Amino acid sequence: MAEASPRARIEAAVAHASHLVPSQSPLDRFVHHNPLHHFEELPFEVAVERAAELFGNAPYWSEAAYQAEYRRGRIQDDDLDWAIARAAPEDAPLGVGVTRHALMRAMLEHPVAALNGPALAWHLAETDVLTVARPGLRPEVFHRLVSKAGGDVPRALGSLWAACRRRLGDAPPPPEAPRGLRLRDRLVDAGRGDIDGLIHSLLIRWSGAYLDHGIAHWPMSHRDRPFLEAVRLHLQHGRGLGRGWLAHVGAWFRSAEGQRLDALDTIHRMLERLGHPPADWRAVLERTALALPGWAGMFQRLADRPDTAPVRQALPTALADFIAVALVLEVGIGEHLLPGKGPLVRRVPAPGAAMAPATCAPAWLFFQIAQSLGLNDYAVDRLDDVELQAVLAEARAFDGPRRQAVLHAAYERRFRVEHLDALARHAVDQAARPAPERRVQCVFCIDDREESMRRHAEELAPWIQTLGVAANFGLSMYYQGVHDSRPVALGPAPVEPQHYVREVFVDAQPAPSRWRAWAKHGINVGSQTLLRGAVVTLAGAFSAAPLTTQVLSPALHERLNRPSQRGKTRLEYEATGDARHPNGWKVGYTLDEQVGVVRRTLESMSLLRDFAPLVLCLGHGSDSANNPHAAAYNCGACGGGRSAPNARLFAKMANDPRVRERLAAEGIHIPADTVFVGGYHNTANDDVLISDADEVPPSHRAPLDETLAALAEAAKHDALERCRRFENVPLDVTPEQALRHVRARVNDFSQPRPEYNHNGNALALVGRRAWSRGLFLDQRAFLCSYDPDSDPDGHILADLLQMAVPVGAGINLEYWFAAIDPYGYGSGTKTAHNITGYLGVMDGHQSDLRIGLYHQMVELHEPVRLLCVVEAPPERLLAIAQARPMVGRLVTNGWVLLASLDPATGAVQYFEDGAFRPWPTPLDPLPRVPTSSDWFRGNRGYLPPAQVGFGDEEVA
Amino acid sequence: MSSDVLMGSLGTLALVLPALGAMGIALPWLLRVRLEERVILRITNAVFSLTFLATLAMDAVFLARGGAPVEFLITDWIALPAYTVHSAVLLDAPAALIMTLTGFLAGLIGVFSGNYLHKDPGFHRFFVLLLVFASGMMAVAAGGTLDIIYAGWEIVGLTSALLIAYFTYREAPVRHGLRAFAVYRVCDVALLGAAILVHHHSGALTLLHPDALPPESQLLVGGLLIFASMGKGALLPFTGWLPRAMEGPTPSSAIFYGALSIHAGPFLLLRGWPYLEGLPALRWILGGLGLATALHASMVGRVQSDIKTQLGYASVAQAGVIVIEIAAGFTGVAMIHIFSHAILRAAQLLRAPAVLHDWFGLAARLGRTPTRHEGYVERHLPAGLRRRAYAFALDRWAIDDFGRLGLRQARRLLQSLDRVDQRFAARLAGDPAVAAEPATASPEGGHLVNDQA
């Protein structure tokens, strides 16, 4: 590597940086993914801390946040003890009756403030730390602390502080702050201010202009060239106009004009002018890109997946160009601020008094610990020097990040204990119950929001059997509906679809009248120009009426503006010859491909026999009137699209006699009287709609109507269950009122929370529904149907986990990180968002492109890693983890947690430290309620699992 | 009751009600009673409904009177033998228009924000500021003397700056709030100056009688009113603060920079029209300012690639056109323009977060991706010139840099004045050491940091 050419080194460094920048697509193709995707090779805890340092984000919640959870009982004492024992397996006495675990426990319960130097002096002089004992001490601890002083707290504390000072002396001088790397960092160290503000204000403007997909009236020219080239052409005339540094930038671009320098050459030149030695290049480029991660990431993403752009245009984006422009600006500003000769970083004056990194004076640290442990000055004096230093070393090693990690482990454990206990117990109880009759099968997405819908459907209509499958239904296609202006990818996000399917009208349709849309567009655009705008805005008072209806009655507004219903449609999906879409996709599916799709999908939900006469397949999606992140609310298995077309097409294929004939030859016999019907569940307003209803044979009309009526009733209860999370809905609404509320909510353009989306996600159950049916899981579980009986060699399970684990982990981890640090890993509050370029959002007037989930979306989420409970013996799971590295990596490194549920007995084993260990089945019965609403009525927060529908038996 | 008193009372009610509502929320808060969101919304909605009804009733009386203005003396604020400050309202067509608009839009924004800011930590603050702002705007509209207008003017400026800086935990909003506040202060001095001048010449005077002033003072008052209107109206060269004001939550951006606050500038000119009418020189200057602003804002706005900045510049462009209309004497057109523009722009800004949704909805209805790129006139420019013009527009005509230069010069001037002052004081005190020591100048380069975007 040492002899690599500078160009190759820079290329490698840019490639390295490209893995660190976020890989979020433009907003309308938002797909959940693990923000630390490129850290998955590392154990979870290690990755969390390393990434926090690299990105400047929080690794976990603050200690105070966990302590609040402890006080409200969300973390319990045995969780803390477990987490401490896990962090420090060996307990050891440290002197005067204090053990290592007791010390750690004391430090977890009572926050330790790291103070040193002037901050400590101020604290001692100006606050009551020397006169009032730390809050929350247990009575016996408090007693030990003050009894010798006769209950005189100030005296006890004064002598304790004196003893600590006596034994440990005054604070050593703080260590020197590390020197910054980039020119900007060094200028900050030298007290010259943060030049990133200037660099970024220009970089953001030009990036926004270059990446714009249609907001600006006047687009930037030369966007068919790389970013660096396009910016050079615009800025080479710059003479500064009051800003000397722009003149430097202009001068460089003028001199670069004849040299044919590409981005890598330019980066090289700039690194040399800055004076960074080659050993630092990688780090410098990495930090330059990560100074504005959102924009840098969008350059990279559009290069990786140009098909995710909202408009197809030839935009040769590359991260190298972005970094090159950033460096040119940095050099220009540097030349202006630091006139002279030689490399720029050497011209920076020596740093002044740098901010000391937060350290803790030993005496102060000990003073706090002694109080938490109830050690008075006498006890402190009794410790010999070795013991004293041992306690101090222990306490120092258990620093803030360690404590946060242990507290978080305890926080996650409580959830795990509660839910594994419940599953183990419920499995035993379920085994004793007879299977309910089955007249209709309803296939839902594995999405956690469908858990409540399925539960209510089963409660109200026990003859419905529900199944869970990824709602792309084995399809991965570019789909264009009759109302779509362009095809959208409906399939798992990592895969680029190969097929094209179109929806067409059955009868010739009169050309739709588009004048209204044109007029709206014309007024909107015109109002923002000068002359047209003067005319349009003079008549703007007419917009008072729509504005009023929008704000005061969203439902009425929606009714007035709904596009008129048009005729019957069909899907065009039969492949004819080798027809290709202009973009190169195969038009439609051949019969072979259709058989493959249906077989794989039936296998993946283990629906290979015992077909009910009616199989309802529901895709899902979510409507909202004002939500840039709407795609994040749709079907995760469809890459942020609505999965209704997938369900519809799958039903069509599964009904096709030719397909059934071929399937029968392969051993899957679908009875002739079984009918598949496609449909759609809107998770925001709980609508259930059916497609191709006119094709349902008369024999199946009545059961279908009965099923739809049951689902409509279930939808009301689902709405009621969801409404308890909305604080502005009273807790005592009826199911009908709840349904009306959620319907109005989705059309309300002032509503930042159309629904709470995946807020609950924390569990994934892969197995037969019988194990979880009747268990209240509070919209917290992905439910994936799988029957080990139909999978003797385990290949179905392997495929299933390969698909479901990364998708579930992607959603779960994106929520995890955004809930931990909503402003670092998340995109902050939605109320300040400003859409730019139809690509993403900025905060307010100008900022980095904000990546991740916004605060209103994750505010109720409990950050716990996904706990996957799979109905398969441990050996099979271990074999799959071996054979499928994508799954194995996540499981062995702890990004998802794994448990096995025995297919015969329902016994649970939990995977920890590389091995499965039995999880004892609790003897205590679970709480039992007749219906779900008996359990959740009157509650806003998360509820523990309960058995639903067991009420009668309890009485009997 | 005579229609004068009826109309005056209704106007006063509209002026006072929002302030009372704000107190209803703020007083318990000061006493550490945090009202529930539900209660705050009930107060706000009740207050704005009543306010809007009062303005509508006032409009009805006004029309029934055939449009004759009302000067209604509430009380004397300060009464000295030679000097009186009246608390009076002047209700004429422009006042009625702005008051109705304020009642209507503030009410809708209140309803909107109830959902939009639900659970936000600044919920209380937002509604207090919204109500206070509405009272301030009413005072500007209904003020019968420059003193009342000035009081309202300051309230509007302060609430505006505080709402820009709503997200106090981030740096940019606070910096941009301060910037807006600074621009306001500079321009407010002119309004204060005008008020003082008027008092100086007439003791107690209402707005409608400029002829009481000597001609040269009339010119000065007119000029000061124009200068005062430039800050809130975001006229050149003060335009830079407005796009940066899009930091607050969306509804506050909508009501301030789309709808009401931006039109306070042109409204002040309508109020001062009696002073400006007979002075063609001032009107030419005003027209030039309006034209320059309109050209600047529309050119800069055309290249913006984010929706809020684009709408901000669109607002400024129309404010420039309205100023041109006033300068040309079409005050009636200007009034309609203010009214219509405010409603349309507020609606657009409220829908700004839904622009993605609207765009795809439009695409679905049109059957293809809607584009704005086909019709831009700049494509006719030769490529080199087009690039320069584009860079110039994206750089916002480098206006901020001239402002920065101006600030630096002003600071130098103040520093040297300060030195002279200190030396003089030292000489008086007989302390040669202080007299010799120069005042410390701030280190060069420090300014860079504070003027980013």
pLDDT, tens digit (0-9, with 9 covering 90-100), for B69-121:
888 887 777 777 766 777 788 888 889 999 999 999 999 999 999 999 999 98
Let me know if residue A573 belongs to a domain.
Answer: yes
Q: Which residues in chain A have their CB less than 8 angstroms from residue B373's CB?
A: 214, 217, 219
A571/A647 same-domain check: yes
- Which DSSP symbol is given to A492? -
> What dihedral do alpha carbons B34, B40, B42, B43 form, nearest 10°?
100
Which chain B positions have a beta carbon within 8 Å of A183's beta carbon?
A: none
Q: Would you call B314 and A533 a contact, using CB atoms and an 8 Å cutoff? A: yes
Which one of B104, B112, B387 has the shortest CB-CB distance to A234? B387
Chain B CB within 8 Å of residue A856 CB = yes
pLDDT at A520: 79
Q: Closest Cα to residue B126, out of B251, B246, B257, B20? A: B251
Q: Do B53 and B136 fall within a single domain?
A: yes
Looking at beta carbons, which residues of chain A come within 8 Å of B250? Answer: 831-832
Nearest to A190 by CA among A355, A357, A350, A356: A350
Let me know whether B265 and B371 are in one domain: no
Number of structural domains, chain A?
4
Given a cut of 70, whether residue B450 has pLDDT beyond it is no
| Confidence at residue A170, expressed as pLDDT on a 0 to 100 scale | 65
**CB contact, 8 Å: A148 with chain B?**
no
Q: Are residues A88 and A213 in the same domain?
A: no
The verdict on A247 and A322 lying in the same domain is yes
Contact criterion met (CB < 8 Å) for B390 and A563: no
Count of CB pairs separated by less than 8 Å, A with B: 308
Q: For chain B, what is the domain count?
A: 3
For residues A557 and A573, state if they share a domain: no
Check residue A438 and give its pLDDT. 87
Q: What is the pLDDT of residues A855-895, one digit of tens each?
A: 999 999 999 999 999 999 999 999 999 999 999 999 999 99
Q: Do B338 and B363 fall within a single domain?
A: no
Q: Which residues of A touch B314 (CB under 8 A)?
A: 527-529, 533
CA distance A301 to chain B (A): 19
CA separation for the pair B222, B197 (Å, rounded): 11
Give how far B341 is from chain A: nearest CA, Å: 5
The DSSP element (H or E) to which A456 belongs, if any, is helix A449-460
User: In what order do the strands lie in the sheet containing A763-767?
Assistant: A781-785, A763-767, A867-870, A897-901, A908-912, A915-919
Q: Are residues A215 and A122 in the same domain?
A: no
Comparing CA positions, the residue from A892, A860, A533, A405 lying closest to residue B344 is: A533
Beta bridge partners of A366: none
Of A209, A237, A832, the CB nearest to B303: A209
- Closest residue in B to A849 (Cα) is B306
Contact A243 B321 (CB under 8 A): no
Task: Assess whether B262 and B319 both reside in one domain.
Answer: yes
Residue A353 has pLDDT above 70, yes or no: no
Pairing, β A586-587 against β A499-505: parallel
Of residues A396 and B452, more confidently modeled: A396
Instruction: pLDDT band for B444, please (50, 70, 90 cuts).
Output: very low
Per DSSP, B206 falls in state: -
Are B118 and B168 found together in one domain? yes
- Parent domain of A455: 448-509+566-751
Express each pLDDT in B215-231 by its tens digit.
788 888 889 999 999 99
| A441 is a domain residue | no
Given an 8 Å threshold on Cβ–Cβ distance, is B108 in contact with A234?
A: no
pLDDT tens digits, A122-172: 888 898 888 888 888 888 888 888 888 888 888 989 999 999 888 887 656
Any chain B CB within 8 A of the CB of A84?
A: no
Chain A partners of B37 at a C-beta cutoff of 8 Å?
728
Residue A248 lies in a domain: yes
A205 with B452: Cβ contact below 8 A: no
Question: Are residues B329 and B194 both part of a single domain?
Answer: yes
Mean pLDDT for the stretch of residues A920-946? 91
Residue A887 near residue A881 (C-beta atoms within 8 A): yes
**% of chain A with per-residue pLDDT over 90:** 55
Nearest residue in B to A338, CA atom: B445
Residues β-bridged to residue A946: A776
d(CA B137, CA A525): 29
For the ranges A577-586, A623-632, A831-840, the one whose mean pLDDT is highest: A831-840
pLDDT-based confidence at residue A948 (cuts at 50, 70, 90): very high
Confidence label for A512 from pLDDT (cuts 50, 70 and 90):
low
> Among A19-33, A379-393, A610-624, B366-380, whose mean pLDDT is lowest?
B366-380
Residue A181 has pLDDT above 90, yes or no: no
Same domain, B342 and B438: no
* Cβ neighbours, 10 Å, residue A513: 10
| Separation of alpha carbons A638 and B202, rounded Å | 75
| Position A47 pLDDT exceeds 50 | yes
Q: Is residue B424 packed enough to be buried (19+ CB in 10 Å), middle (13-18) or exposed (0-12)?
A: exposed
Confidence of residue B205 (pLDDT cuts 50, 70, 90): low
Taking only the tens place, the pLDDT of each residue in B135-173 is 999 999 998 888 889 999 999 999 999 999 999 888 889
The residue from A711, A728, A751 where one domain ends is A751
Instruction: Tell if the CB–CB gap between A537 and B113 is shorter than 8 Å.
Output: no
**E strands, A58-209, in order:** 93-95, 98-99
Q: Is residue A57 part of a domain?
A: no
Nearest Cα of chain B lies from the Cα of A291 at a distance, in angstroms, of: 16
Instruction: Specify which residues A869 forms β-bridges with.
Output: A765, A899
Q: Which residues of B touch A325 (CB under 8 A)?
A: none
**CB proximity A76 to B under 8 Å:** no
pLDDT band (50, 70, 90) for residue A467: very high
* Same domain as A312, residue A236: yes
Average pLDDT, chain B: 86
Residues A394, A464 share a domain = no
Neighbours of A135 (CB within 10 A): 6
Q: How far is CA A15 from CA A8, A49, A304, A611, B395, in A?
A: 10, 23, 12, 51, 32
Judged on CB neighbours under 10 Å (0-12, 13-18, 19+), B327 is buried
On the CB side of A4, how many CA atoms lie within 13 Å of its CA? 12
Same domain? For A479 and A535 the reply is no
B233 and B380 fall within a common domain: no
- Residue A637 near residue A618, CB atoms below 8 Å: no
Which residues does chain A have within 8 Å of residue B259's beta carbon, measured at their own beta carbons? none
Strand partners, A689: A680
Q: How far is CA A181 from CA A279, A280, A328, in A?
A: 12, 8, 17
A461 and A325 housed in the same domain: no
Find all residues with CB under 8 Å of B265, minimum gap 6, and list them: B229, B230, B231, B232, B233, B234, B235, B319, B323
Domain shared by B255 and B366, yes or no:
no
Contact A835 B393 (CB under 8 A): no
Question: Searching chain B, which residue's CA lies closest to the CA of residue A855?
Answer: B120
Cis peptide before B237 (omega within 30 of 0): yes
Which chain A residue is nearest to residue B404, measuring alpha carbons? A242
Same domain, residue pair A579 and A669: yes
Write out the H or E segment, with its range, that includes residue A75.
none
Checking if the pLDDT of A243 tops 90, the result is no
In whole angstroms, give the CA distance from residue B51 to residue A709.
47
Residues B318 and B435 in one domain: no
Tell whether A847 lies on the interface with B, counting CB pairs under 8 A: yes
Phi, psi of A408, deg, nearest 5: -65, -40
* A193/B348 touch (CB, cutoff 8 Å), yes or no: no
- Place B19 in a pLDDT band, splitting at 50, 70 and 90: very high
Is A27 touching B (CB cutoff 8 A)? yes
State whether A193 and B370 contact (CB < 8 Å). no
Q: Which of B40, B48, B379, B448 to mutate to test the interface with A (most CBs of A within 10 A)?
A: B448
Is residue A281 situated within a structural domain? yes
**DSSP category for residue B257:** I
Instruction: Give how far Cα A759 sits from Cα of A753, A756, A811, A813, B244, Å.
Output: 11, 6, 10, 12, 34
Looking at the fold, whether B120 and B11 belong to one and the same domain comes out as: yes
Partner residue opposite A626 with nearest CB, options B348, B354, B363: B354
Evaluate whether residue A219 is within a structural domain.
yes
Partner B, chain A 781-800, Cβ-Cβ below 8 Å: none
Same domain? B328 vs B363: no
**What range defines the domain where residue B387 resides?**
357-394
Q: Could you say which of B113, B394, B401 has the minimum Cβ distance to residue A243?
A: B401
Q: Quick check: B323 pLDDT over 70?
A: yes
Closest A-chain CA to B451: A198
Domain boundary among A751, A780, A813: A751
Q: How close, in Å, is residue A635 to chain B by CA atoms?
A: 17
Predicted TM-score (pTM) of the model is: 0.92
- Residues of chain B contacting A547 with CB distance shorter than 8 Å: 108, 343, 346-347, 350
pLDDT band at A270 (very low <50, low <70, confident <90, very high): very high
Return the CA Rg of chain B. Answer: 24
Q: Which of A416-430, A653-667, A802-816, B360-374 has the lowest mean pLDDT?
A: B360-374
Are residues A217 and B372, on separate chains, in Cβ contact within 8 Å? yes
pLDDT tens digits, residue range A766-793? 999 999 999 999 999 999 999 999 898 9
Rounded to whole angstroms, the Cα distance separating A313 from B360 reads 17
A623, A746 Cβ separation under 8 angstroms: yes
Q: For residues A452 and A723, what is the distance between their CA atoms, to the nearest angstrom?
A: 12
Question: Residue A817 above 60 pLDDT?
Answer: yes
Distance, CA of A811 to CA of A34 (rounded, Å): 7
Query: A621-643: string of b/e by CB count within 10 Å (b at 16+)?
Result: bbbbbbbbbbbbbbbbbbbbbbb
User: Which residues 6+ apart lie within 8 Å of A523 measured at CB?
Assistant: A536
Least CB–CB distance from A540: residue in B343, B360, B376: B343
Asked if A846 lies within 8 A of B114 by C-beta distance, the reply is no
A260 at interface of B, judged by CB pairs closer than 8 A? no
Q: Do B111 and A237 touch (CB under 8 A)?
A: no
Segment B284-300, tens digit of pLDDT: 999 999 999 999 999 99
Residue A292 and residue A326 in contact, taking contact as beta carbons nearer than 8 Å: yes
A200 close to B (CB below 8 A)? yes
For residue A459, pLDDT beyond 60: yes
Regarding whether A406 and A308 lie in a shared domain, the answer is no
Is there a single domain that holds both residue A214 and residue A299? Answer: yes
Two tokens, residue A209: 């202009």
For residue A868, what is the enclosing H or E element?
A: strand A867-870
A847: closest chain B residue by CA: B172
Residue A170 to residue A155: CA distance in whole angstroms: 21
> Does B452 contact A197 at a Cβ distance shorter than 8 Å?
yes
d(CA A157, CA A271): 56
For chain A, positions 331-350, list CB contacts with chain B under 8 A. 333, 337
CB-based contact A845 B244, cutoff 8 Å: yes
Chain A contacts of B343, Cβ < 8 Å? 540-541, 543-544, 547
Least CB–CB distance from B367: residue in A485, A521, A542: A485
Q: How many helices (H) and strands (E) does chain A have?
A: 37, 23
Which residues in chain B are contacts of A241 at CB distance < 8 A? 395, 398, 401
